[in-house]
């Protein structure tokens, strides 16, 4: 699928303070154009939280870049192309090669599903092409499977665990039962949540892998109240459609009434919207961005809603930021040559509509930025459509992510 168009004009207040600067360095734009590739789930469980609306977010970034630089833009012709990876690593591998080779993509963005993201990272490494992952949580992207051409944007399992797991355990949820999807993302989430809960003085009574994708979690939910010791919280590491299914069944079995609370390892605005806020009211989770956090976020969310009819998730905003930062790197370097883009991104400070106090760490290509401990509002407290989150506190970038790069990462 090939998508073109610039969208609306940008509001100056939304442009990144860290993005200033004109063309630098030598070089030129290959093929006379810059091609942004969006690879994600457009038809299944992650389609709502990312999907086709991530393409619209990238197109908004293109519009803002063109509006900012006008005739001085280093990239005068920009195209957005997209593909559906179906949450399968083999399909992601094939689609990534097609995007880089046939559609001449200079960068691939998004790629939810950690196993798919790791497959694309390997393609990027072999082809020496830029990959900025937004939708996957695995820390392997900045760990032993890191590479020079891959950047990890948005969130990861360490951040999610050390926000939600630590906070809930310190507040008294000492015993946990963890249910996780049995693939790279879920395995990583189980590991990082267990470590965070234990470090905060708690205990994971049991953790169970569940098939992915899955629409029946009854085996795990019926087991929870009978575990010894009884868990005070069920930590679900599912996301998207799988999370929606699990929460519906959690409520059907009335586990909260049986003393087993619910914590979500990864929760998106679209999940709450699908379930209705009362289905998850009071649930705390870590979010990397929220559309109604402040006036800047809301102004961008208004533009996004005008295009899509929906409020953006954190993944949509992160795709916008990643695309804009890539285009700014092209502008500074005066070229889309991958090695030049790498040097332009490494160590870059990122302060835009998505990233606050952000830095792309040069040693492992992980974006460090402020994130938020959030809570789902009950329906009675929702004053307008989509405003489902209450931000409890900001977790500074220095606390949210791994304090040091993984020694296994060799760029």
The reported pLDDT for the residue numbered 316 is 98
> Which residue stretches of the chain have pLDDT < 50?
1-26
Distances (CA, A) of 325 to 61, 190, 277: 9, 31, 34
**How do strand 389-395 and strand 371-376 relate by DSSP bridges?**
antiparallel
pLDDT, tens only, 255-275: 999 999 999 999 999 999 999
Q: Are 161 and 196 in contact (CB under 8 A)?
A: yes
* DSSP string across 370-391: -EEEEEEPPGGG--STT--EEE
C-alpha dihedral over 315, 194, 396, 376, to 10 degrees?
60
Give the pLDDT score at 17: 36
CA atoms within 13 A on the CB side of 92: 29
Where b means 16+ CB within 10 Å and e means fewer, 341-370 reads bbbbbbebebbbbbbbebbbbeebbbbbbb
Q: What domains are defined for the chain?
A: 2-155+292-368 (3.40.50.2300), 158-291+371-400 (3.40.50.2300)
Report yes or no: 318 and 326 within 8 Å, Cβ to Cβ. no
Distance CA(178)–CA(88), nearest Å, equals 24
Contacts of 126 (CB under 8 A, 6+ apart): none
The reported pLDDT for the residue numbered 9 is 33
Q: How many whole angstroms from its chain centre is CA 247?
A: 21
Query: What's the first-to-final CA gap in the chain, in angstroms?
Result: 32
In contact, 93 and 113? CB cutoff 8 Å = no
pLDDT (tens digit, 9 = 90+) per residue, 19-63? 433 444 446 999 899 999 999 999 999 999 999 999 999 999 999
Helices within 128-239 (DSSP H only): 157-160, 166-170, 184-199, 218-223
Q: What are phi and psi of 293, to 5 degrees?
A: -70, -40
- Name the nearest CA neighbour of 137 among 178, 190, 199, 86: 190
The model scores a pTM over 0.95:
no
Q: What is the pLDDT of residue 273?
A: 96
């Amino acid at each position: 699928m090939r998508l073109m168009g610039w969208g609306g004009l940008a509001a100056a207040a939304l442009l990144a303070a860290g993005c200033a600067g004109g063309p630098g360095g030598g070089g030129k734009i290959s093929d006379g154009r810059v091609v942004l590739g969006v690879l994600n789930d457009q038809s299944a469980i992650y389609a709502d939280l990312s999907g086709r609306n991530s393409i619209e977010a990238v197109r908004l970034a293109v519009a803002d870049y063109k509006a900012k630089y006008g005739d001085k833009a280093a990239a005068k012709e920009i195209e957005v192309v997209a593909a559906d990876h179906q949450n399968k690593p083999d399909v992601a591998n094939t689609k990534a090669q097609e995007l880089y080779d046939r559609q001449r993509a200079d960068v691939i963005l998004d790629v939810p599903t950690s196993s798919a993201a790791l497959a694309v990272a390997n393609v990027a490494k072999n082809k020496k092409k830029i990959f900025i992952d937004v939708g996957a949580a695995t820390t392997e992207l900045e760990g032993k499977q890191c590479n020079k051409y891959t950047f990890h944007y948005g969130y990861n399992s360490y951040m999610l665990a050390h926000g939600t797991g630590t906070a809930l355990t310190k507040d008294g949820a000492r015993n946990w039962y963890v249910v996780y999807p049995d693939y790279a993302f879920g395995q990583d989430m189980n590991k990082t949540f267990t470590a965070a809960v234990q470090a905060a003085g708690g205990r994971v009574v049991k953790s169970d892998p569940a098939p992915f994708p899955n629409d029946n979690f009854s085996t795990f939910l019926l087991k929870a109240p009978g575990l010894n010791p009884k868990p005070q919280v069920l930590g679900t590491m599912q996301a998207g459609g799988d999370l929606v299914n699990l929460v519906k069944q959690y409520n059907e079995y009335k586990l909260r009434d049986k003393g087993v609370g619910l914590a979500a390892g990864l929760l998106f605005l679209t999940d709450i919207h699908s379930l209705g806020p009362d289905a998850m009211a009071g649930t705390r989770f870590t979010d990397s961005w929220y559309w109604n956090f402040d006036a800047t976020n809301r102004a961008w969310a208004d533009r996004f809603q005008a295009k899509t009819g929906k409020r953006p998730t954190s993944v949509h905003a992160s795709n916008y930021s990643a695309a804009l930062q890539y285009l700014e790197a092209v502008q500074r370097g005066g070229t889309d040559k991958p090695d030049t883009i790498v040097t332009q991104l490494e160590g870059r400070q990122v302060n835009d509509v998505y990233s606050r106090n952000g830095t792309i760490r040069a040693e492992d290509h992980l974006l460090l930025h402020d994130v938020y401990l959030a809570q789902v509002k009950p329906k009675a407290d929702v004053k307008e459509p989509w405003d489902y989150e209450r931000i409890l506190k900001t977790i500074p970038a220095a606390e949210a992510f791994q304090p040091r790069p993984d020694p296994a990462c060799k760029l």
